[in-house]
């Protein structure tokens, strides 16, 4: 199968992912990269996308490992290819799955960076709330930690998407899936204070949609918010490695540490698959083990 023959097949697969599962643009782009790289590899060996040799993928994975690719990278690649071939099998384009006997590399879950509760408190208290910018940042941090929103969801909040009386925000997550997320009394208090005393000082036109404006009354970028978080972490004396989703990770971990049900955390985070949420059980388990070792007489 040539490159020209393969492209419509890849496009059809990606269209199916988008239509049936609401896959995001980033997810679709990752699948496309994996499939095109696999197609090029096969073409160099005079093999087609639907007719790979039995040793084609194991040999490629071995070469990738020798070239320095991490085990996790190979596992993700194999996962992409398996999904494609399962789709092709269902669509009747194959009689059998050519990767059925290829084993997925075992990958230990990568624990997300997070903060303990004292560190979160210090971060939340870092902004100077005597200024409109500081008040905005405090409200953003409070809402983020109280809700577990993705940073993109936080900076995309509009006035119409928040209901302070009911204490919820409405967000559009990955795959354009809508969910209502409670934010708690403390976050509501800071959000009300910011809307009452800070937002107008940051905007020329307060009727514009963004709750947390960036420049020119427009939506703040994720990069701008991330720079603000790093600055406040420095003020708070937090020297841990942080990511844009550190507070989202802390939200999930602290809920589980305090006894929340995993299914509830999944719904709050907007994960379509419970297995995605289960990574946080490892974080919580590590915390419980540390507490046991530190405080139990036979720890």
For every residue of 209-235, which 3-state class applies, written as one string?
A: CECCECHHHCECCHHHHHHHHHHHHHH
Q: Is 137 left (phi over 0), alpha (psi -120 to 50) or beta?
A: alpha
Type and span of the H or E element at 168: strand 168-172
Q: Which residue among 122, 170, 179, 271 is the active-site one? A: 271
Is 280 annotated in the active site?
yes
Residue 168: strand pairing partners: 163, 182
Scanning the structure block, which residue is given the tokens 């905005």?
Answer: 136
The three-class DSSP label of residue 205 is coil
List, by residue range, all CATH 1.10.443.10 domains of the chain: 117-294
Question: In sequence order, which residues have a C-beta less than 8 Å from that of residue 75 and are 6 or more positions away?
Answer: 104, 105, 107
Question: In sequence order, which residues have a C-beta less than 8 Å from that of residue 93 and are 6 or more positions away?
Answer: 9, 50
The three-class DSSP label of residue 86 is helix
Residue 244: its pLDDT value, please? 75
User: What tokens appear for 56 in the block?
Assistant: 């084609």
Residue 138: its pLDDT value, please? 97
> Which CATH class name applies to 117-294?
mainly alpha
**DSSP state letter for 204:** S
Question: In sequence order, which residues have a C-beta less than 8 Å from that of residue 185 and are 6 or more positions away?
Answer: 167
Q: Is the separation of the CB atoms in 222 and 214 below 8 Å?
A: no
Q: Phi and psi dihedrals of 169, rounded to 5? A: -125, 145
Residue 111: its pLDDT value, please? 56
Q: Which residue among 138, 232, 248, 254 is the active-site one? A: 248
Q: Which residue among 138, 245, 249, 254 is the active-site one? A: 245
Residue 76: its pLDDT value, please? 82
Instruction: Return d(Cα 80, Cα 76) in angstroms, integer.
Output: 6
Is this model's pTM higher than 0.85 or not? no
List, by residue range, all CATH 1.10.150.130 domains of the chain: 3-90
Q: Phi and psi dihedrals of 163, rounded to 5? A: -130, 95
Instruction: Return d(Cα 250, Cα 119) in angstroms, integer.
Output: 10
Tell me the Cα Rg of the chain.
23
Closest CA to 142 of 178, 189, 196, 199: 189
Is 174 annotated in the active site?
yes
Instruction: Return d(Cα 191, Cα 183) in angstroms, integer.
Output: 10
Q: Which residue among 32, 82, 86, 174 is the active-site one? A: 174
Residue 1: its pLDDT value, please? 42
| Greatest distance between any 2 Cα atoms in the chain | 68
Q: Which residue among 150, 199, 228, 249 is the active-site one? A: 150
CATH T-level fold of 3-90: DNA polymerase; domain 1 (1.10.150)
pLDDT in tens, the chain (299 residues): 444 467 888 999 999 888 877 778 888 898 999 999 998 888 888 888 888 887 888 888 888 888 887 777 888 888 889 899 989 888 888 888 887 777 655 555 555 567 888 999 999 999 999 999 999 999 999 999 988 888 889 999 999 999 999 999 898 877 777 888 889 899 999 999 999 999 999 999 989 999 999 888 899 998 999 999 999 999 999 988 887 788 888 888 888 777 777 777 777 777 666 666 666 666 566 555 665 566 656 65
Instruction: Return d(Cα 253, Cα 116) in angstroms, integer.
Output: 9
Instruction: Return d(Cα 261, Cα 23) in angstroms, integer.
Output: 26
Dihedral over alpha carbons 155, 156, 159, 163 (to 10 degrees) = -90
Instruction: Please classify residue 165 by burial: count the beta carbons closer than 10 Å to its beta carbon, then call 0-12 exposed, 13-18 middle and 19+ buried.
Output: exposed
Is 31 annotated in the active site?
no
Scanning the structure block, which residue is given the tokens 């990955």?
Answer: 174
Is 271 annotated in the active site?
yes
The three-class DSSP label of residue 139 is helix
């Amino acid at each position: 199968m040539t490159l020209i023959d393969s492209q419509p097949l890849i496009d059809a697969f990606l269209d199916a992912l988008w239509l049936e599962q609401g896959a995001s643009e980033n997810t679709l782009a990752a699948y496309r990269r994996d499939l095109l790289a696999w197609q090029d590899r096969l073409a160099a060996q005079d093999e087609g996308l639907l007719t790979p040799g039995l040793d084609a993928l194991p040999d490629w994975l071995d070469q990738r490992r020798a070239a320095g690719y991490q085990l996790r990278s190979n596992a993700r690649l194999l996962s992409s290819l398996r999904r494609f071939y399962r789709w092709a099998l269902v669509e009747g384009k194959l009689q059998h799955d050519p990767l059925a006997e290829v084993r997925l590399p075992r990958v230990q879950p990568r624990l997300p960076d997070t903060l303990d509760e004292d560190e979160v408190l210090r971060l939340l208290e870092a902004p100077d709330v005597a200024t409109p910018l500081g008040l905005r940042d405090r409200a953003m941090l409070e809402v983020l930690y109280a809700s577990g929103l993705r940073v993109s969801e936080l900076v995309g909040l509009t006035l119409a998407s928040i209901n302070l009386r009911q204490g919820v925000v409405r967000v559009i997550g990955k795959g354009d899936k809508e969910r209502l997320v409670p934010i708690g009394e403390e976050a509501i208090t800071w959000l009300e204070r910011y809307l009452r005393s800070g937002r107008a000082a940051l905007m020329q036109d307060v009727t514009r949609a963004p709750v947390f404006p960036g420049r020119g009354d427009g939506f703040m970028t994720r990069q701008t918010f991330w720079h603000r978080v790093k600055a406040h972490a420095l003020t708070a004396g937090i020297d841990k490695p942080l990511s844009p989703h550190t507070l989202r990770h802390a939200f999930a971990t602290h809920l589980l540490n305090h006894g929340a049900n995993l299914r509830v955390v999944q719904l709050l985070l907007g994960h379509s698959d419970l297995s995605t949420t289960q990574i946080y059980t490892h974080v919580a388990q590590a915390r419980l083990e540390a507490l046991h070792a530190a405080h139990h007489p036979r720890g």
